[in-house]
Structure 1
Amino acid sequence: MTSVFSSSNDASTGLPGGSEVIVLPDGRTRANRPARADGSAADRARSGMGWGFTAPFLILYALFLVGPTLYNVVSSLFNTSLVKPGLGEFVGLSNYRQALGDPEFWRTFGHTLWFTVLTSVPLVILSLLLALLADRFAHGKWFFRCAFFAPYVLPSAVIVLIWKWMYADQVGLVPAIFGGLGITSPSFLGDPAWSMTAVAITTIWWTLGFNFILYLAGLQEIPREVHEAAAIDGAGPWQRIRHIVVPMLSRTTALVAVLQVIASLKIFDQIYLMTSGGPDGSTRPSLEYIYDTGFTDYRAGYASTVAVVFVLIVLAVSLAWVALNRRNGKAA
């Protein structure tokens, strides 16, 4: 039987006051000393060091993200102009009513959604397929990582120069391939029916490597024993992919899909550099409309309003997607 005795701070025990002496069944004793009084002080010191290390980031975060965001929300309630000092005349929610009824805003938002569909679905599926193929190689995975990820590190200006040359009428590589096949090549950047598709293909080639790396990392987390057990049970490659790999990659797929949808909704640079929103405004996205309104028409207040509405829409889409994936994960 184990006994517990309370000790006072005297010479008979040699233990500090408040200590407990535990007598074990075999006759041995063990002292159970209380926590040190300076533990809370040490915790406060560590907490202070943590705040000290994070303070530079928090300051920069407040200056360059929180502050501009709050100013953007405030200016959306005013008739602010870049050619006039101050916020201008207070107009309340009239800018929001105008934005929600602006056909050009919804037209550019439709272009943004169409671009998101053209890029998000292929970037999720192709990256998964390529990761499955690369994972079958026992050696040389580093080569595929470098080969697929290399375009992703290039700046958008370099990507645009490469693909504008490839799409160039009569002298580009893509029209030459079409001509070699005996097919009349369309004007990829000059035809409204092809321009958004051309930009989407460029984006897929450029950003495929990021999703590929995520999927390849997820595949390497699946134990080999699971594949071996399935093979012993007679499951073929397609059955293992369908019933083992894809379900075990569900969290990775949810992450890739969310990141890809958000990135596609924020499209601006490659469209602005490749087509400038043309031809005939057929590729003009929401962010370019915001840019033109603020820096070309100098209507900074209304541009802020459109930006707030666009951010709220993107946030709603993102939250809905995350909630859907969580519900499916719980159901599984």
Structure 2
Amino acid sequence: MAEAAALSRPAGVVGRRTWANGLFVLPFFLTFLALMVLPLGVGMWLSFQDYDMLGGYGGSVGFENFTRLWEDKIFLRSVLNTVYFVCLSTPAFVALGLFLAISLNDTYRRSAVLRSIFFGSSVLSVTIVTLIWRLVYMPERGLLAVSAGAVGLSSPSFMTTESLAMPGIAIVTVWWIIGLPMMLFLAALQQIPREVYEAAALDNASRWTTLTRITLPSIRRTIVLVAVIEVILQFQIFGQVHLITNGGPNNATRPIVMFIYEAGFRDWSLGYAAAASQVLFVLMLAASFFQIWIGRSKQED
């Protein structure tokens, strides 16, 4: 009856109701255009321009900004640093977040307290986090140096050694926001029916078999989601590097976002900074698609 009534209505009435429903989406759509699409388009346009905040607009330069980036050793080093940091931090977020979620996936009060503790660091600002870890990494007088000296060991210099600086930043970042992937994995684990685990227990399945045959396949989409989220977030690393090492030592921790910040707001070269931003956008897009492709191929297998 309802379908017949809908078919009997004039086309104009149905069309007006459709447009009326679209008005509820209009505020979000306009905000999305203003804050996402428009800045993206302006950034792409700027990347092909010679635009200096002090000298003004110098005209279109084509791919000259991208050619300069290809020849800029500092930018190439920042790309390698960023990719290296993503390769360090993303697997740690996935593995450690999954481990914590599995370990704390019960109803005991102890687990609830530990979940709050691990998630609590995520609400801290980057300033507080870096202040804490500067006190930990401080040479000779830091917590790490004092603890290592108490047992007769030498403390690694994460802030002054090139090979250890980026792993040190990765440790800070994982400690800071491990709570988000942990909570995502917890939400996924709690959606798995308990009857499946009870059936596995009746079949005398080992913990490893339960993990690999039940748990991991059941939360495969969440694993891919966490990996994609962390890749996107960690490609944008800036605050902790800026406050702990300021890109040093010898540009060993300088990421792409810091290069963009310095090119745009220290050297005032907006066109050059916009070109570097487009390179970062392409890298993030490629890495995200790669993660999704791997997840889909494993799911098909």
Confirm or deny a common fold (TM above 0.5).
Answer: yes
SS, match of residue 53 in structure 1:
coil
Query: Is the 2:77–2:251 contact (alpha carbons within 8 Å) kept by the matching residues of 1?
Result: no
Alignment of 1:121-200 (within 5 A): 121-138=91-108, 141-200=111-170
From 52, 58, 63, give the equivalent of 2:29.
58
Query: Is the 2:48–2:275 contact (alpha carbons within 8 Å) kept by the matching residues of 1?
Result: yes
Q: Cα–Cα, structure 1 residues 186 and 33, in superposed 2: closer, same or farther, change >3 Å?
A: closer
Q: Which whole-Å deviations, capped at 9, do the CAs of 1:165-215 have from their partners, x for residues lacking one?
A: 222223321212111221111332122222212111110101110000011
Q: Which residue number in structure 1 is paired with residue 248 of structure 2?
A: 278
Q: Cα–Cα, structure 1 residues 182 and 44, in superposed 2: closer, same or farther, change >3 Å?
A: farther
Distance 1:169 1:290 in 2: 30
SS, match of residue 88 in structure 1:
strand
Distance 1:33 1:89 in 2: 60
Distance 2:107 2:32 in 1: 43
Deviation at 1:320, TM superposition (A): 2.2
SS, match of residue 89 in structure 1:
strand
Distance 2:127 2:78 in 1: 23
Q: Which residue number in structure 1 is paired with residue 48 of structure 2?
A: 77
From 260, 282, 300, give the equivalent of 2:270.
300
- Please list every run of 5 or more consecutive structure 2 residues that lacks an aligned counterpart in the other structure: none
Distance 2:143 2:167 in 1: 17
Q: Which residue number in structure 1 is paired with residue 80 of structure 2?
A: 110
Q: Cα–Cα, structure 1 residues 182 and 67, in superposed 2: closer, same or farther, change >3 Å?
A: same
Compare the two structures and name the one with the higher helix fraction.
2
Deviation at 1:40, TM superposition (A): 5.5
From 28, 34, 58, give the equivalent of 1:88.
58
Distance 1:288 1:244 in 2: 43
Q: Cα–Cα, structure 1 residues 146 and 45, in superposed 2: closer, same or farther, change >3 Å?
A: farther
Greater gyration radius:
1
Matched to 1:276, the amino acid is N
Q: Which residue number in structure 1 is paired with residue 198 of structure 2?
A: 228
Q: Cα–Cα, structure 1 residues 70 and 176, in superposed 2: closer, same or farther, change >3 Å?
A: same
Deviation at 1:59, TM superposition (A): 2.1
Q: Cα–Cα, structure 1 residues 93 and 181, in superposed 2: closer, same or farther, change >3 Å?
A: same
Deviation at 1:130, TM superposition (A): 1.0
Q: Which residue number in structure 1 is paired with residue 293 of structure 2?
A: 323
Query: Is the 2:48–2:65 contact (alpha carbons within 8 Å) kept by the matching residues of 1?
Result: yes
Query: Is the 2:74–2:251 contact (alpha carbons within 8 Å) kept by the matching residues of 1?
Result: no
Query: Is the 2:130–2:243 contact (alpha carbons within 8 Å) kept by the matching residues of 1?
Result: yes
**TM-score normalised by length of structure 1:** 0.84
Alignment of 1:244-263 (within 5 A): 244-263=214-233
SS, match of residue 268 in structure 2:
coil
Count of residues paired in the alignment: 300
1:205 is aligned to 2:208: no
Q: Which whole-Å deviations, capped at 9, do the CAs of 1:74-107 have from their partners, x for residues lacking one?
A: 111111101023x322211222222233322221
Following TM superposition, the consecutive aligned residue runs of length 4 or more in structure 1 with deviations greater than 6 angstroms are none
Q: Which residue number in structure 2 is paired with residue 18 of structure 1?
A: none
Distance 1:32 1:140 in 2: 54
Distance 1:155 1:32 in 2: 54
Q: Which shows bigger deviation, 100-109 or 149-158?
A: 100-109
Q: Which whole-Å deviations, capped at 9, do the CAs of 1:8-50 have from their partners, x for residues lacking one?
A: xxxxxxxxxxxxxxxxxxxxxxx99932433866654553344
Q: Which whole-Å deviations, capped at 9, do the CAs of 1:196-255 have from their partners, x for residues lacking one?
A: 121111101011100000111111111111111111111122221122111212111111
Q: Cα–Cα, structure 1 residues 247 and 71, in superposed 2: closer, same or farther, change >3 Å?
A: same
Q: Which whole-Å deviations, capped at 9, do the CAs of 1:229-282 have from their partners, x for residues lacking one?
A: 111111122221122111212111111111112211111111111111011111
Alpha-carbon RMSD across the aligned residues, in angstroms, is 2.1
Higher relative contact order (CA 8 A, sep 6+): 2
